[in-house]
Amino acid sequence: MSALLTVEEAQARILALGAPLPPENIAFPESLGRYLSQDVVATRDQPPAALSAMDGYAIRFADLPGPWSIAGEVAAGASPPRALGAGEAMRIFTGALLPDRADTVVVQEDVAADGAALTLTGDGPASLGKHVRARGGDFAAGTLLLPAGTRLSPGAIAAAIMAGAPAAAVHRRPRVAILTTGDELVAPGHPLGIGQIPDSNGAMLAAMLGDEAAAVGLPLHARDDRTVIADVLKELARRHDVIVTVGGASVGDHDHVQNALADAGGAVDFWKVAMRPGKPLIAGTIGAAAFLGLPGNPASAFVTATLFLLPLVRHLAGARDSLPALRQAPLAAPLAAGGERRDYLRARLDAGGLTPFATQDSGQTFPLVAANALLVREAGAPARAAGASADYIAIA
Ligand code: AMP
Ligand code: MG
């Protein structure tokens, strides 16, 4: 038997199936979750000049403890009417430009104004520059704020806008087609005949992709027929960047995906990975599209989508780090020794640590409800006591 690919080898080969898609500029409000196609470098200083951080009065620190004469006012977005003279204060509001020669702000709660006279009633500012935001204190022009490949979070969107970017320069998101296969499967909610079950993987995969992909249509379904599957694959390859099938990935009499891929003009890059669940994964290409054939058991589909499909989709969408992060947590219970292949055990992580579920039957759907972690157990790993550290991948 030829050696199975390791998960890491399989991931590297899958990411090599396609390059990040071309860049496009989109409006910031639509850019959440997209990946930057170029660095965001600040084209401006923020703040652009010294600003007040509070409502109060701009003063010169040397003039403390006052009193002052009030020399006008300045609000956010306005120009200060003039520079501050000795013994003068200027009414100022949060975000307003500090007048020339002012260096400190006294908050309005610490002073009393009577006409043009201002006196200190509280402690006043403790130090020179108090309540003043310096020019460039957030960032200076030329600062690299967000490297290419960064996922745009709400905060990153705000920073890119503040940096002066007119639009989000991101990669196009991949168009992904999901094709479920199996004679026993019936569309969700439809009546079931003898031996039939609802097709849950299609919607599960679509949900896992979420908005990482563009235009994931409704999952399609084909019966266990080599010709039908080949025809559908051929058609899908014309309009998609990624085609993912689920089910039929082995070599049973009713597993047709691998042959259908060949019939459709596609090519297998590799088949099978040293992991459990998920061993019979197929990776390849068809036309310009990347192809993944996931095994049909619900947990197998879930684990292989986590480890391979989502990284592929994120990679094509321009992500810098597309692979799931490996984290560590203590075991809440003892863990038996590892077997022949690396295990991705469905588990629950809580304050007490990681607890793998007693049942690891990949055919079960219900454990996926409570699972929030995949506990990674290496092949041949020795048994471990509760409290020992274990690797895991966080899952939604
Ligand atoms: P297969 O990979 O086709 O051998 O399927 C393995 C197991 O997963 C079988 O018990 C199938 O009935 C089940 N299965 C395959 N596809 C799906 C699906 N889309 N939804 C739910 N279960 C599925
Ligand atoms: Mg099947």
- Break the chain into its structural domains and give their ranges: 7-21+173-316, 23-46+138-171, 51-133, 327-394
Residues with Cβ within 8 Å of residue 142, at least 6 apart in sequence: 41, 42
Return the ligand number nearest the Cα of 245.
Answer: 1
Distance CA 122, CA 228 (A): 82
Q: What is the mean pLDDT of the chain?
A: 97
pLDDT computed for residue 217 by the predictor: 72
User: For residue 1, is pLDDT > 60?
Assistant: no
pLDDT of residue 100 exceeding 90? yes
From atom 5 of ligand 1, which residue's Cα is the shortest distance away?
A: 296
Q: Which atom of ligand 1 is nearest to the CA of 248?
A: 3
Closest of 53, 32, 38 to residue 145, by C-alpha: 38
Residue 351: is it exposed, middle or buried by C-beta count within 10 angstroms (0-12/13-18/19+)?
Answer: exposed
What band does 2 get if pLDDT is binned at 50, 70 and 90? low
| CB 343 less than 6 A from any atom of ligand 1 | no
* Burial category of 360 from C-beta neighbours within 10 Å (exposed 0-12, middle 13-18, buried 19 and up): middle
Q: How far apart are CA 337 and CA 67, in angstroms?
A: 77
Task: Examine the pLDDT at 269 and tell me if it is beyond 60.
Answer: yes
Cα 298 to averaged position of ligand 1 atoms, centre (Å)? 7
How much is the pLDDT for 337? 98
Distances in Å between the Cα of 88 and the Cα atoms of 91, 92, 97, 125, 197 are 10, 13, 16, 16, 81
Q: Which of 178, 179, 183, 185 to mutate to test the pocket of ligand 1 (most atoms within 8 A of CB)?
A: 185
Cα 385 to Cα 235: distance, rounded to the nearest angstrom: 52
Report, as an integer, the average pLDDT of 204-230. Answer: 92
Question: DSSP H helical segments within 132-218, as ranges?
Answer: 154-162, 201-209
3-state secondary structure of 273: strand
Check residue 77 and give left, alpha or beta (phi > 0: left; psi -120 to 50: alpha).
Answer: left
Q: How far apart are CA 13 and CA 26, in angstroms?
A: 31
Residue 210 Rama label (left phi>0; alpha psi -120 to 50; beta): left
What's the mean pLDDT in 278-282? 97
The percent of residues above 90 in pLDDT, for the chain, comes to 97
Q: Bridge-partner residues for 373, per DSSP?
A: 347, 394
Residue 183 has pLDDT above 70, yes or no: yes
Point out the ligand 1 atom lying closest to the alpha carbon of residue 255. Answer: 3
Q: Which CATH superfamily is domain 23-46+138-171 in?
A: Molybdopterin biosynthesis moea protein, domain 2 (3.90.105.10)
Mean pLDDT value of segment 240-258:
95
Q: Is 248 a pocket residue for ligand 1 (Cβ < 6 Å)?
A: yes
Name the residue of 221, 223, 226, 246 to mutate for ligand 1: max ligand atoms within 8 A of Cβ. 246
The CATH fold assigned to 51-133 is: Molybdopterin biosynthesis moeA protein; domain 3 (2.170.190)
For residue 113, the model assigns a pLDDT of: 98
Tell me what pLDDT residue 330 has: 98
Domain made up of 327-394: CATH architecture: Beta Barrel (2.40)
What pLDDT score was predicted for residue 109? 98
Give the homologous superfamily in CATH for domain 7-21+173-316: MoaB/Mog-like domain (3.40.980.10)
- Measured from the CB, is residue 180 less than 6 Å from ligand 1? yes
